[in-house]
Amino acid sequence: MSKSTRSSDATRADRGDQADIQAVSRVSQILSLFEPATPEMTAVEVAERLGLNRTTAYRYCTSLAAAGLLERNAEGSYVPGGLLLQLGAFAIGHRSVINLAPRHMRALARATQTTVVLSLWGLTGPVVSRVEENISAVVVVSVRVGSHLPLDSAQSKVFLAYHADQLSMERLMANLPGQAREELRADVERVRTVGHCSAMSTPGVVAVGAPVFDEYGICATIAVVGPDNTLSMADDTPELRVVVDTARALTQELGGHYRPDDLDQRAV
């Protein structure tokens, strides 16, 4: 085989690898479109959301349906398929924090008279993975499991502060417009300083959150959520102390190291 032939073969192989990587990336983008607010989508809607031509979007959707990652309902829309549900349940079921958190969350909901939310990191932000509501409260804030939280939420800022892959976190923040990006960076830096976060990403609704760590680093955030007339964003609010204590207790059960404790030790 001549040198030019070998070079041509290598070039074709590289192009094939790049095409495979692009296809995987496209599949990821399509699957990430599905969430509680968007439980089903047509191929046309996929094309519009991702800027694809309709033929390409239809080809991807039918291929994903054939693989069991999507299913087509009677109306012609696509919904998450059986294989995707199976993998999702398997992945969540093997997160120790999901098994240990419920007892702590119920106690926290009773102590604070609020809704308690546990979030895990998804593709580009936190995903609500478990919710405990305080049904005895007059006003209950409902949060849907599976919801993707925006980057300006308290839970997102905690993850951005402590996530092991800070380069990826910086890339996420870099996608925001100038002023919003700088404000978010300042908020994330403050989280690193104080070890918790309070925010109002939804008008009238306050979330107070803290990080939960396992042996590998941050694995979840736990937060209380309530109306702004009953839940304060101040650093001396009693609800914040209970949230942080709960996060520390859960971290200890998971065999992790509660990193904000380092700040407490340096302040002594």
Confidence of residue 3 (pLDDT cuts 50, 70, 90): low
DSSP the chain: --HHHHHHHHHHHHHHHHHHHHHHHHHHHHHTT-BTTB--B-HHHHHHHHT--HHHHHHHHHHHHHTTSEEE-TTS-EEE-HHHHHHHHHHHHT-HHHHHHHHHHHHHHHHHTSEEEEEEE-SSSEEEEEEE--TTSSS-----TTPBPPTTSHHHHHHHHH-S-HHHHHHHHHTS-HHHHHHHHHHHHHHHHHS-EEEEEETTEEEEEEEEEETTEEEEEEEEEEETTTS--STT-HHHHHHHHHHHHHHHHTB---THHHHHHHH-
Q: Give which of 210, 147, 156 is closest to 184, Cα–Cα.
A: 156
What is the per-residue pLDDT across 151-163, written as a single tens digit (0 to 9) for each? Answer: 999 999 999 999 9
H/E stretch holding 222 reads strand 217-227
Q: Is the pLDDT of residue 268 over 50?
A: no
Using an 8 Å Cβ cutoff, are 162 and 217 in contact?
Answer: yes
H/E stretch holding 196 reads none
Instruction: Please work out, in degrees rounded to the nearest 5, the angle formed at the alpha carbon of residue 81 by the alpha carbons of 124 and 151.
Output: 15
What type of residue is 75? E
Angle between the N-to-C axes of helices 96-112 and 238-253, in degrees from 0 to 180, rounded to the nearest 10: 160
What is the per-residue pLDDT across 229-247, written as a single tens digit (0 to 9) for each? Answer: 999 999 889 999 999 999 9
How much is the pTM? Answer: 0.73
* Average pLDDT estimate for 114-119: 95
Average pLDDT for the chain = 87
Q: Provide the pLDDT for residue 39.
A: 86
What is the per-residue pLDDT across 79-100, written as a single tens digit (0 to 9) for each? Answer: 988 888 777 766 665 578 999 9
* Structure tokens that stand for 95 in this block: 């997160």
